[in-house]
Structure 1
């Protein structure tokens, strides 16, 4: 393949996994503030298939305009190929990882051999993990971080009038994580344990040993009984599934407790007032410095990235088909030769 072109996966139309096409496209030009990364691995995330599907899961007024063809994806790990003159802190040959330009749907362009990334979105890859695990970390890890540890930005919240304020976690705090085996969920379990909280993990029974290995104190198999019928007096619920029905977890909270649904969920304000609890949601955003903090935990093994499966970049369709089957343990990653 000529040096000015690269392989990339693009959408020429919206639809199912079959619309993902393996194309030859120009290598992106470097702009001020950017780093050109030779990609080794790409993490896939729910926004990738939301984009592929034309954002039909979002209310029409929230759907961004995405020009086609578009390269999906935001999470990469790779090696710096070139650096814009105004960039400091990164050099050619550095191993880096990051979540690129999120939440700018359709502009991240991670399903490719090269990506031009804002330097502010990147961090040095932890030496203690490989590119596959590093690519699996950014969006899921930053989502858990910004919900539970530190929001880290002052952008307006598109989901609520007030900024999200993470609850202080520590010994004596009980956190329930629903969807605990997935990308965000398995990071949330580990970060809550890192802060000293007692963690209740909710998932299907096949993931019990995995989640106990990550530090979960209590495991609930939702196929054998509803968590909201078994648990009371929880300080915080992080619902990594979210969406309609998330409000069923309100009954698990003690007065003063909080529910954080990762995906937008309609919650009755009168019910919140009656129970004396709150709910809050955030929009995850690219953040290189936060990723560097998470990277230090990854480097020493305090937090680890679980890999469900890997696929070559050319098999992005099969990776999306795997995601559609559900029951994912950790992350699905595309590898780039």
Structure 2
């Protein structure tokens, strides 16, 4: 099969190549998915650079962390899916393998693809939507009346978080660039701040939850807008977290999402109900996987970048 692989860590342009790779073996709990499309995320180029592992590579590794496709084979103990099912998945991060024509995924990490979505749209959702859902419901407790500030609200995680927070009944304040303000408002934000025109910490206060996908100065300034007892949840590590929690009398948590097929099925239900829609910015063919990764590496996304594995 054709796949995007690395044999060593390094810069995307130097180490990512598309090559022949063996079709993965199918374990008893696995479904073999004929991949139609795969989503691209910042974690992918960090993996390529070796930031996520201290171990040297023993051989070629197929990269990629989320996909949509059609089940082509099932393991002996699989009960949830059958050959021909259209599915999507955030794959096991220890395994990867989404940027390929076939991927073997444990059935517990797979859900039925929403019928309303194309494969490209479905492939763009698992990682970012699961991150958003877990940030709002596991790392914090967003519910009706909760005041939430979402940074980077036009990006992959941010755009999903705005929509999911809306389903939870939250009051949503969001930061975005001027050219995406209308999009973020359309997704459900009650107030959208153009971060280049206004400093959010000068116009926002008494927030229950901040979802930070930016880090750096944005993360630092976010502590000052939280209520006493509020929670900052970040996908970026928080330096001196304990000291900041004590200073501001708040909770501060950084986390990395975990794949979960049941949660993914819940998100599929939101899609079917018209409460969650993917935002796909650009689609690359598999042969241009390195270019897709470099696009994400540059940042400034309006939604997601996707690789079309099969036409």
Give the structure-2-normalised TM-score: 0.95
More displaced 10-residue stretch of structure 1: 6-15 or 87-96: 6-15
Question: Which residue, out of 80, 84, 87, partners 1:96?
Answer: 87
Question: Which residue, out of 108, 113, 128, partners 1:140?
Answer: 128
Aligned ranges for residues 299-310 of structure 1 at < 5 Å? 299-310=272-283
Q: How many residue pairs get matched? A: 309
SS of the equivalent of 1:179 reads: coil
Question: Which residue, out of 106, 121, 127, partners 1:118?
Answer: 106
Is residue 141 of structure 2 the alignment partner of residue 167 of structure 1? yes
Structure 1 residue aligned with 2:236:
263
More displaced 10-residue stretch of structure 1: 44-53 or 66-75: 66-75
Report the Cα distance in structure 2 between the residues aligned to 1:121 and 1:65, rounded to whole angstroms. Answer: 27
Aligned-pair CA distance for 1:247: 2.5
Aligned-pair CA distance for 1:275: 2.5
Is residue 271 of structure 2 the alignment partner of residue 298 of structure 1? yes
Structure 2 residue aligned with 1:13:
8
Aligned ranges for residues 195-274 of structure 1 at < 5 Å? 195-243=168-216, 246-274=219-247
Contact 1:38–1:78 (8 Å) recurs in 2: yes
More displaced 10-residue stretch of structure 1: 244-253 or 86-95: 244-253
Aligned-pair CA distance for 1:64: 5.0
Question: Which residue, out of 6, 14, 25, partners 1:29?
Answer: 25
Is residue 30 of structure 2 the alignment partner of residue 53 of structure 1? no
5+ long unaligned stretches in structure 1 = 1-5, 152-164
Question: Cα deviations across residues 213-265 of structure 1 (Å, max 9, x unaligned)?
Answer: 10111111111232122211111100012356512201001112111111112
Distance 1:255 1:333, change over 3 A: same
Contact 2:7–2:57 (8 Å) recurs in 1: no
Report the Cα distance in structure 2 between the residues aligned to 1:201 and 1:43, rounded to whole angstroms. Answer: 24
Contact 2:128–2:160 (8 Å) recurs in 1: yes
Aligned-pair CA distance for 1:66: 4.1
Structure 2 residue aligned with 1:154:
none
Distance 1:63 1:181, change over 3 A: farther
Q: Does 1 or 2 have the higher relative contact order (CA < 8 Å, sep 6+)?
A: 2
RMSD, aligned CA:
1.6
5+ long unaligned stretches in structure 2 = none
Question: Which residue, out of 287, 301, 309, partners 2:260?
Answer: 287
SS of the equivalent of 1:111 reads: coil
SS of the equivalent of 1:250 reads: helix
Aligned-pair CA distance for 1:272: 2.4
